[in-house]
Amino acid sequence: MQKIFDSEIKVMEIVWENEPISAKNISLIAAEAIGWNKNTTYTVIKKLEKKGFIKRTEPNFICTSLFSRDEIQKFETQTLVDKLFGGSKKALFSALLDDEKLSSNDIKELRDMIEKR
């Protein structure tokens, strides 16, 4: 899987929420939600298609995702962990916990998630 940029994630969010969706409708939603013009949106759609994140089919350039939101989140998270924390999820969690006070309920929920793994 290739790196996905912020602008591409914005279009993917539109696709995930509405698929299958025409490129035209993506551009209309992007214009309203993000303020993009049609050409910007179509450029990002073409990049996503070239990278293999979406496919477009005729008629009407109908777009569908080739990766789920969850798959991209996992890939991007692992990329972040590898890049900034030497591949250590423990180091990531430590950094996150240093920055935020957690309620006892939050701690219990995190503990439950870990125990279920």
Alpha helices of the chain — where are they, by DSSP H? Answer: 6-18, 23-33, 38-51, 69-85, 89-99, 104-116
**Portions of the chain given CATH number 1.10.10.10:** 6-65
CA distance 25 to 60: 10
- Sheet with 62-65: strands ordered across: 21-22, 62-65, 54-57
Give this prediction's pTM. 0.79
Instruction: For domain 6-65, give the CATH number.
Output: 1.10.10.10
For residue 92, the model assigns a pLDDT of 84
pLDDT in tens, the chain (117 residues): 888 999 999 999 999 999 999 999 999 999 999 999 999 999 999 999 999 999 999 888 999 999 999 999 999 999 999 999 999 988 888 887 776 777 888 888 888 888 888
Structure tokens at 114: 């870990």
CA distance 98 to 72: 26
For residue 24, the model assigns a pLDDT of 96
